[in-house]
């Protein structure tokens, strides 16, 4: 089948100004809870887009680990490609795509590191293998083969036993949103799009043409 001929009619729900929250965080939390309740695959997965010093964009999928009025949190290796790009350009975009619900959420804003205490607390809540893995993987670097990872994991497991500390190069990022967009698929490609941007009273909610 020609991929150009692939079509889908979006007819599951609607999104309007009267039924949506005035606070985008509340709208996001509602949609995230609905995605989890619907048991969509990995509802916590989000695409993270960053831009390098050469102005080249790149994306990857990461997992949300927290959200509140301060922003959206995920954890990673600070020396990875995304970590280095965020160090040079601390602005990013996130996207959630819940295919089964015909919904997309886009979030943009400035990125900052979370506190040492937050990174420590989350790191020590992870399974032991994941904590060892944070030491074993020189993320985004070229390696000779999988043997490098396996050897590193064995080395750090023997060194730290059951109490690996948080690596100094590993921790959390928080995106502080200054733009939210909620997209609900609709029939005939007349989709619903609501954008939230800051204003003097909190958030300005506007409808965008699809």
Catalytic residue list contains 106: no
Cβ neighbours of residue 148 under 8 Å, at least 6 residues apart?
Answer: none
**162-167: long-range pairs with CB below 8 Å, 24+:** 162/128, 164/128, 164/131, 164/132, 164/134, 164/135, 166/119, 166/120, 166/123, 166/124, 166/131, 166/134, 167/77, 167/134, 167/135
Of the candidates 146, 174, 189, 193, the residue annotated as catalytic is: 189
- Token pair of 102 as six digits: 């015909």
Question: d(Cα 157, Cα 99) in Å, to the nearest integer?
Answer: 39
Which residue numbers are catalytic? 189
């Amino acid at each position: 089948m020609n991929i150009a001929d692939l079509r889908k009619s979006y007819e599951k729900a609607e999104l309007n100004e009267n039924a949506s929250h005035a606070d985008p965080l509340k709208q996001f939390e509602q949609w995230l809870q609905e995605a989890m309740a619907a048991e969509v695959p990995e509802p916590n997965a989000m695409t993270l887009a960053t831009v390098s010093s050469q102005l080249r964009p790149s994306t990857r999928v990461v997992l949300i680990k927290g959200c509140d009025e301060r922003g959206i949190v995920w954890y990673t290796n600070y020396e990875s490609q995304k970590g280095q790009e965020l160090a040079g350009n601390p602005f990013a975009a996130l996207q959630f795509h819940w295919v089964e619900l015909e919904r997309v959420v886009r979030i943009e804003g400035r990125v900052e590191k979370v506190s040492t205490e937050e990174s420590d607390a989350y790191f020590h809540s992870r399974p032991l293998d994941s904590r060892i893995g944070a030491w074993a993987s020189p993320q985004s670097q070229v390696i000779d083969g999988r043997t490098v990872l396996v050897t590193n994991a064995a080395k750090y497991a023997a060194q730290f036993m059951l109490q690996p500390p948080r690596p100094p190069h590993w921790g959390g990022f928080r995106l502080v949103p200054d733009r939210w967009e909620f997209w609900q698929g609709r029939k005939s490609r007349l989709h619903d799009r609501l954008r939230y941007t800051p204003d003097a009273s909190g958030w300005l909610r506007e409808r965008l043409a699809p």
